[in-house]
Chain A
Amino acid sequence: MLVHLANVLLSGVFHASILFLVAAGLQVVFGVQRIFNLACGSFYALGAYVGVSFVQASVQAGLPPGLFVLALVAGGLCVAVVGPVVERGLLRFVYDRDETFQLLLTFAVVLMLEDVIRMLWGTSPLSTGGLYLLYGQLKVLGVTVPVYNLIVIGASLLIALLIGYMLARTKFGRIIRAAADNREMSEALGVDMRRVYVRVFTLGTLLGTVGGALVIPATAAMTEMGIELIVEAFAVVVIGGLGSMRGAFVGALVVGVLRSIAISTYPELEMLLIYLIVIAVLVLKPRGLFGGAAA
């Protein structure tokens, strides 16, 4: 029983660590730019596909298979270049518009990226074959866990810590927090908001693409994965509170673990559960668990 509980929790945390990365990307952008980026799921899908391509290329180039994680991270980082492209090419034109227009612009990006992925990679599910099993398994609390799952969890935690550090301790982090608090004030104090926005949006994109690249060995890339994930990421940030990094972290854990528990206890609930939680949170605590933003 205890072993089972540990198993359920660990699988929930694994799911949560991916959700966290995507949701964190959503949060950092919303926190500073006040844009709810529907395309964060598409960035995740893009990262997954590029991850597959990079791994295949690296294996062909003779890189030892054991180092495929490096190829994944490289792929995730490289494709984050779509971040500044979208920001400079599209979003910057609508910063002075109503939030709803910005939301719609990101919806346009969702539509476009879905087809771009189909054009570049086709429609068949792509995977990195058996690389997932390369690192073997570990026994944790009596549960057999693939080492790669632990790597993903660890990487996600590490990224969470890095972001936390960056926000709290670095100059860029202070600027971000200031900008999130009061944009006009920061601008008046000489902050170049243009650069801040580019960097923030790139960071948000990067979290999604790296998340997608990291998860791909454990799963397979499918064209609709972005549209599916956005709904879950959306649940995470609603539960955690829009714009809050801590909220993304806690929200991801809540969604990941509750989903896992539901599957083990009431599998029929799987599909409904998330929306029920989201609506409960929105009704009872509309700003989420950590939300400070004005409604």
Chain B
Amino acid sequence: METNRRDFLKGIGAAATGGALGFPAVVRAQTRKGIPAEPVKIGLLAIRAGVAAPVGAAGQRGVEWWAERVNKAGGILGRKAELVLEEESSPKDTVERFRKLALQTKVDVIVGGISTAVGLALGPVAEELAMLWLSWDATTQKGVEETMPKPKFAFRSVDNEVEAIGGAILTAKYFKGVKTIAGINNDYSYGRDCWDAFQAVLKRYTPDVKPVLDLWPKLGVTDFTSHIAAIQQAKPDLLMTSFWSGDTTILLKQAAAVGLFKSMKGCFTTGGGVHDSLKKSFTPEGLVLGYNSMYFNYAGASALQKQFVREYKAKHGEYPPYECDHGYFTVESYRAGVEKAYKAAGEWPSKEQVAKALEGIQVESLSGKRSWREDHVQMCNFFQGITTHKSEFDFVTIDPVEVLPTTKIMKPSTSTKLYEWINATFPLKS
């Protein structure tokens, strides 16, 4: 079976490079010095099952859109980009898929990775295999501490708690007079880190703010009526949550059914991940809502983003969530890294050379300019704002839109202690 598939892939590659009749002139005139003819193989790990499956699908779509465009324009230094898809699941199985891509399929780069547990497992494996790995959404932080201080081949996502820090800043800005807060977060590291960081930053703005309740539903819970009863009893001024999947929708719906947000504010740091499902009929105006690194309806969006949103809607019948941007960014930065390293090396660069070139590189992603920090961490803007019903959609959007750059809301290096940094940095002056 395996040989069949590999032959098949080779066949496609041959067809793509050899019989390139339909392609623009650049492709045929490609034979640049030191550039192999066969396609660049890009391994792609995407979650396909479970709560995070929509996130995986979005990342994959972002990468596929990129591949289509890049191949139309002649590929990377004339080489076609060929995607090899594998599934991200448990850390154990994902490490196996990663090894398969690296050792067997022999890809040039691997992109993907969403869950933190998977990221923690893949980071060291990428180094062992000397395989370039550009993470979409997974970090290599255990809690808020970095586990890989000096990676060579692993490039990871932004710190998990960044969105909660942004949410706290906006909470302080828009909801003056919040004295008591409650949190409902999934019972795992992302939820816990977000809740802790949110409180720490908010305390810097409002020192007398007091947490009155913290709820810890398991990831994947689909009924929050009992949690809402507990929140009603605690009567906080504000409810904070870092939910990012369908549970956001469910929580908002069940909260609306008892008018929860009539008596309190709400801060949904990450709920924009399922923005399509946050219908106006049950999502109130006036909540803080975060869209991570890309807001589909941003007025100041680039022409590229606008085109992407249009084509995504036409193809998939919905508006793109942020993970498309992470996916797109990882492959686009790889392309830019290869081209940069090629200029220096004069031939197709090795993985080491690409990795070096990626450090500090800046490229245009869907959401605008994005970069890799010198220490292999994604940099981007975060889009958060206040929910509104004033739009042509049947779901909420945000207005005003606040653009929060990671240069301000993420600790400046992987060795920085998060809470020391928070205490030294906030409140932000501006």
* Best-buried of A132, A133, A264 by chain B (most CB within 10 Å): A264
Residues in B with CB closer than 8 Å to A249 are none
Question: Are B250 and A219 in contact, with the CB atoms below 8 A?
Answer: yes
Contact with B along A112-126 (1 / 0, CB 8 A): 001000100011111
Among listed A75-83, A173-181, A222-230, interface-contacting one: A222-230
Interface contact B258-A223, CB-CB below 8 Å: no
Contact with A along B255-267 (1 / 0, CB 8 A): 0111100000000
Minimum C-beta distance from A136 to chain B (A)? 9
- With a cutoff of 8 Å between Cβ atoms, the chain B residues found around residue A4 in the complex are 229, 232-233
A18 vs B221: C-alpha distance in the bound complex, in angstroms?
14
Which chain B positions have C-beta within 8 A of A221?
246
| Contact status A222-B222, CB under 8 Å | yes
Chain B residues near A220: list those with CB within 8 A: 222, 246, 249-250, 253, 277
Closest residue of A by beta carbon distance from B279: A129
Given A8-B229, A129-B394, verify A123-B222 contact (CB < 8 Å): no
Q: Which residues of chain A come closer than 8 Å to B217, judged between CB atoms?
A: 270
Complex-state Cα separation, A27 to B57, whole angstroms: 37
B250 touches A263 (CB 8 A): no
Q: How many chain B residues touch the partner (CB < 8 A)?
A: 46
Q: Considering the chains assembled together, what is the distance between the CA atoms of A13 and B279 in angstroms?
A: 27
Decide: A137 and B259 in contact? CB cutoff 8 A.
yes
A274 to B: closest C-beta gap in Å = 10
Report Cα–Cα, A219/B57, bound state, in Å: 22
B254 at the A interface (CB under 8 A): yes
The segment from A144-152, A189-197, A235-243, A283-291 that touches chain B is: A144-152
Complex partner residue of B187 from A133, A264, A271, CB under 8 angstroms:
A271
Please encode chain A, from 5 to 24, with 1 for each CB lying within 8 Å of some chain B CB and 0 for all others.
00110111011001000000
- Does A163 make an interface contact (CB < 8 A)? no
- Are B246 and A130 within 8 A (Cβ)? no
Q: Which of B233, B246, B277 contacts A264 (CB 8 A)?
A: B233
Q: How far is the CA of A145 from the CA of B232 in the complex (A)?
A: 12
Contact partner, B50, options A133, A223, A259, Cβ 8 Å: A223
A242 to chain B, nearest CB (A): 24
Chain A residues positioned under 8 Å from B216 (CB to CB):
267-268, 270-271
Q: Which of B55-104 contact A (CB under 8 A)?
A: 56-57
Q: Does B407 contact A (CB under 8 A)?
A: no
Q: How far apart are the CA atoms of A124 and B248 in the complex, in Å? A: 13
Q: Map CB proximity to B onto A261-294 as digits: 1 under 8 Å, 0 otherwise.
A: 0011001101100000000000000000000000
Question: Is B226 in contact with A144, judged by CB distance below 8 angstroms?
Answer: no
Residues of B within 8 A of A144 (CB): 258-259
Q: Give the docked Cα–Cα distance between A127 and B258 (Å).
A: 18
Asked if B130 is at the interface of the complex by the 8 Å CB criterion, the answer is no
In the complex, whether A33 has a CB less than 8 A from a CB of chain B is no
Assuming the contacts A130-B279, A137-B257, A223-B50, asked whether A125 and B246 have C-beta atoms less than 8 A apart, the reply is yes
Within 8 A of A (CB), among B265-284: 274, 276-277, 279-282
Whether A133 contacts B258 in the complex (CB less than 8 A), given A114-B49, A270-B187, comes out as: no
| A-contacting residues, B191-247, CB 8 Å | 213-218, 220-223, 225-230, 232-233, 245-246
Q: B223 to chain A: which residues have CB within 8 Å?
A: 14-15, 18, 215, 218-219
Judge if A42 is at the interface, Cβ distance under 8 Å.
no
Interface size in chain A (residues, C-beta < 8 A): 45
Report if A264-B229 is in contact (Cβ < 8 Å); known contacts: A18-B223, A228-B220. Answer: yes
Contact of A118 with B53 in the complex, beta carbons under 8 Å: yes
- How far apart are the CA atoms of A124 and B395 in the complex, in Å? 15
**Residues B215 and A263 in contact, CB atoms below 8 Å apart:** yes
User: Closest chain A residue to B56 by CB distance?
Assistant: A123
Given contacts A114-B49, A123-B57, A125-B245, whether A259 and B257 have CB atoms under 8 Å apart is no
Contacts of B220 in A (CB 8 A): 222, 224-225, 228
B318 interface hit (Cβ, 8 Å): yes
From A224, A264, A270, give the contact of B51 (CB < 8 A): A224
- B258→A219 contact, CB < 8 A: no
Do residues B257 and A133 form an inter-chain contact, with CB atoms below 8 A? yes
Query: Within 8 Å CB of B282, what residues of A?
Result: 129-130, 132-133
A-binding residues in B (CB < 8 A) = 48-51, 53-54, 56-57, 187, 213-218, 220-223, 225-230, 232-233, 245-246, 249-250, 253-254, 256-259, 274, 276-277, 279-282, 318, 394
The 19 listed contacts between A and B (C-beta, < 8 Å) are: A4-B233, A8-B230, A11-B225, A14-B225, A15-B226, A123-B48, A125-B245, A125-B246, A127-B246, A129-B279, A130-B256, A132-B257, A133-B281, A219-B254, A220-B249, A222-B51, A224-B49, A224-B220, A267-B214
- Name A residues whose Cβ lies closer than 8 Å to a Cβ of B: 4, 7-8, 10-12, 14-15, 18, 114, 118, 122-127, 129-130, 132-133, 137, 144-146, 148-149, 215, 218-225, 228, 259-260, 263-264, 267-268, 270-271
Beyond A132-B282, A228-B220, 16 extra complex contacts between A and B, CB < 8 Å: A7-B229, A11-B226, A14-B223, A124-B274, A127-B249, A130-B253, A218-B223, A218-B225, A218-B254, A218-B257, A219-B250, A220-B222, A223-B50, A223-B53, A228-B222, A270-B216
- 7 closest A-B pairs by CB: A130-B281, A125-B246, A123-B53, A146-B257, A11-B225, A260-B226, A7-B229
